[in-house]
Chains A and B, each alone.
Chain A
Amino acid sequence: MRHHRRLFRKIVLFFFSIPVLLFIFSPILWLFLASFSTQVELFTIPPHWIPHHPTLQNYLDIFFPNLAASTVPRTFAISLLNSIKIASVVTIICIFFGSLAAYALVRIPFKFNRSIQLGILATRMIPEVSLILPLFIIASSLQLINKPIVLIITYMSFALPYAIWMMAAFFQTVPVELEEAARLDGCSRLGILFRVVMPISVPGLVSTAMFVFLLAWDEFFYALIFTSTLASKTAPVAIAEFVGRYSVNITGMMAAGVLAALPPMILAFIFQRYIVSGMTAGAVKG
């Protein structure tokens, strides 16, 4: 009887997964197929769901830039690398310093705890659009324009507040008993953080890391204003260039979009295994 109930449950759940998967995949499938299409075929009615004359030209233009007709695909590969560099550095530093701060704010009662929490959250309230002019003036006087470091630092200031809040929430769910037990065993504060709290919160940390990475990955306006030379521009800025004043290389843009979505996906795939739901249960029992 129990077996049947479990089977029934599995089937019902699978049934619910289908709309979810449809919701996730249908737009992206369109994107993917469009990237293998020629411009002229994209604009046919009724739509060719699968291109009748698929072409790799859009991707070839990006991978073999010297053969491309327009320079825009040429610059794209470099911009992808820039984005990877910047997003990775931002993520690593944010997770490291952010987890330190998050732990302190959640577990250590001290005088300024609340005000710091609210304060760093408050810095995120103001729209980035208003901060850009003063920041540009500062960056320009420090001669940091068109250098990746300016984006790294700026993105860190954007991402840290969220990262701290997110990691704080995950640290909170770690049972206090565990930490007290470790304390009794003679662990220092930092030891507790690195040896007890963080390992248990790995799912949360990975989620936070993905959030930070994608925040840096996706950011457009600051990247546009601060970096526009070939050597320094990021992927979103390069993609925006597929939209010229007079013509949109829409199939090229779709191909670039697919490629721009790949690095985060690859990272997510690699780090999937670190999100293991059974870890907590083991820790509490043990």
Chain B
Amino acid sequence: MCRSTLLFIIMSVITNIFSKKRRTLRQQDARIALWLVAPSLVVILGVTLWPIFSSFILSFFHAPAGINQARTFVGLGNYIEMLNDQGFWETIGRTLYFTVASVVLNLTLGLLVAQLIQSHPWGWKFIRFSLIIPWAVPTIVNGAMWRWIYSGDFGALNGVLMQFGLIRHYIPWLTLPNLAMPLVILADTWHTMPLIALILQAALAALPEELDEAAAVDGANAWQRFVKIRLPLLRPAILVALIIRTVEAFRVFDIVYIITSGGPASKTITITFLTYLYSFPYGKQGTGAALSIMISIVTMIFAIAYIRILYRPEENQ
């Protein structure tokens, strides 16, 4: 494998270098573009192409885990089985709930914090620096910490609420089926909001001030300036933040596993958790693959929808 790759690369490089026809500026540009993109493409595709492809193929098979296990072709069987499964739809519902709540919370809080920082209140540098802290705490520790805070017997949440007289008895938070997911969403938002805030703040920082000043002179108040001038210019950054947060929220797994292990009564099992369960403990790799393909399709739809709605190339000022 090693030698043939080498040979291929060398051959294509040589043919390229020695085919110096006269090219238009546009063609030259295109070639430069390809070379600029090439290293990233090599890494991304080199690592993920085969696994994605093999996962795709596997999703059409009944593939029990194990050595020398027969793989039977079932066509869309795995997909149909999942689409007919009530547990699957409940999981999708929970995951959408998590995603919508997470995206809304993250983007709202993120935007507010970003604007707050950008307005340079006293200590704004400290605020921006502090944002890295929730983000820097490893997910495992974050999960363990929040699990601890929510603990029904010793947790800080109960302690604080009790001290302020808001509750009379300690509440076993994580055992309440309808409260468990919001609590996980809160814990996750604490960890992920900093990234959104920082992306948006960096974008805000790059905006030219004159437009804002001109609008102020024209009599627009702070809110109008924010919504009509800054938000539209922030579109690329918001797009990025939306895509990242939606994709990551839809695929959330680690934090749920650590805080609740999917409970109580499976109320916090998300679709990636379900994929993990089928692929590993249940040993049904075909079903697991089918689930991942379905997840990919949904998240891709989200991403394309966002791009369609928000993407405006080369916006001139």
Q: Per DSSP, are chain A's interface residues mostly helix, strand or loop, or mixed?
A: helix
Query: Size range of the interface on B?
Result: 35 or more
CB-nearest residue of chain B to A161: B44
Of the candidates B34, B43, B279, B316, the one whose C-beta lies within 8 Å of that of A97 is B43
Could you tell me which residues of chain A, from 115 to 171, have a CB within 8 Å of some CB in chain B? 116, 118, 120-127, 129-135, 138, 153-154, 156-157, 160-162, 164-166, 168-170
Note all chain B residues with C-beta closer than 8 A to A154. 47
Q: Is the CB of A31 within 8 A of B141?
A: yes
Interface flag for A51 (CB, 8 Å): no
Q: Is the CB of B247 within 8 A of A124?
A: yes
State which of A54-62, A67-75, A202-210 sits at the interface with chain B.
A202-210
Could you tell me which residues of chain B, from 272 to 317, have a CB within 8 Å of some CB in chain A? 272, 275-276, 279-280, 285, 288-289, 292-293, 295-297, 299-300, 303-304, 313-317
Could you tell me which residues of chain B, from 113 to 156, have a CB within 8 Å of some CB in chain A? 113, 116, 118-119, 121-125, 127-141, 144-146, 148-149, 153-156
Interface flag for B198 (CB, 8 Å): yes
Of the candidates B145, B206, B315, the one having the most CB atoms from chain A within 10 angstroms of its own CB is B206
Interface flag for B33 (CB, 8 Å): yes
Q: Is the CB of B195 within 8 A of A27?
A: no
Q: Is the CB of B292 within 8 A of A105?
A: no
Q: Is the CB of A125 within 8 A of B300?
A: yes
Q: Is the CB of B206 within 8 A of A280?
A: yes
Given A97-B40, A110-B34, the answer on whether A25 and B141 have CB atoms closer than 8 Å is no
Query: Size range of the interface on A?
Result: 35 or more
A190 vs B30: C-alpha distance in the bound complex, in angstroms? 13
Note all chain B residues with C-beta closer than 8 A to A104. 32-34, 36-37
**Between-chain CB contacts (< 8 Å), 15 pairs:** A17-B124, A27-B190, A100-B39, A104-B32, A104-B33, A110-B30, A121-B303, A125-B297, A125-B300, A127-B272, A135-B47, A203-B205, A204-B203, A257-B137, A262-B136
Shortest 10 CB-CB contacts between residues of A and residues of B: A257-B141, A13-B121, A157-B47, A130-B292, A110-B30, A264-B136, A104-B36, A125-B296, A134-B51, A169-B236
